Amino acid sequence: MTQPIHPTFQRPAFTSRVVPVIVITHPDQAVPMAHALLEGGVDVMEITLRHAAGLAAIEQVAKNVPQMHVGAGTVTRADEMARVHSAGARFALSPGMTEALVQAAMDCQLPFMPGVMTPSEVMAARDHGFTLVKLFPAAQAGGLAMLKALSGPLGDMQFCPTGGVSLSNMAEFLKQSNVAMVGGSWLTPVEVVERGDWREITRLAREAKDVAHGL
């Protein structure tokens, strides 16, 4: 069995319980977006590798906004782990989990949050030493009902549900004892980012932060 990752993704260094899931199409969007999120009280951003600009965007934030905890999302291949680590990502997330991804995270000593959808996948992640995993896609996996069901037999596991989480339902998710944080793309809408409306990003971030802090 693969040994647990060190450091494991158990106690995130960031304080925000809302993780923006971001697709960046131009690297020069990354730094102003990071500042806008920080101004709104969100100190973490998951920049996905869904677009070719993702890696360069991670590097820009890591170099220029050190107070932002920048992570790499949609890491699906083992060789991507080393690249995002070299770019300055402080952690990585994936929609799933493979032995190769776990080993690559261990090799890089990069905190990693694998994706799970079933109880067996949660148990497999736990066997690898993970205590925090990404429930993805959360809505299709059963959402709140699934999280409540998992809290009994797998009560020692914490989740970051992503996929189907929004401002309107994030409070319901965050109230669950086994939910550490939620992820979502609603904080950084593509059309808002494309027009560079950073004030709107700050507003959306503050709105989400206020909901999380009000629980």
- Give the active site residues: 46, 134
* Short-list 108, 106, 98, 133, CA closest to 119: 133
- Locus of tokens 């770019």: 87
DSSP annotation of 114? -
- The C-alpha atoms of residue 133 and residue 94 are separated, in whole angstroms, by 9
| 3-class secondary structure, 29 | helix
- The C-alpha atoms of residue 108 and residue 101 are separated, in whole angstroms, by 11
H or E element that contains 185: none
**Helix boundaries (H) for the chain:** 30-39, 54-64, 78-87, 99-108, 119-127, 138-141, 143-150, 170-174, 190-194, 198-213
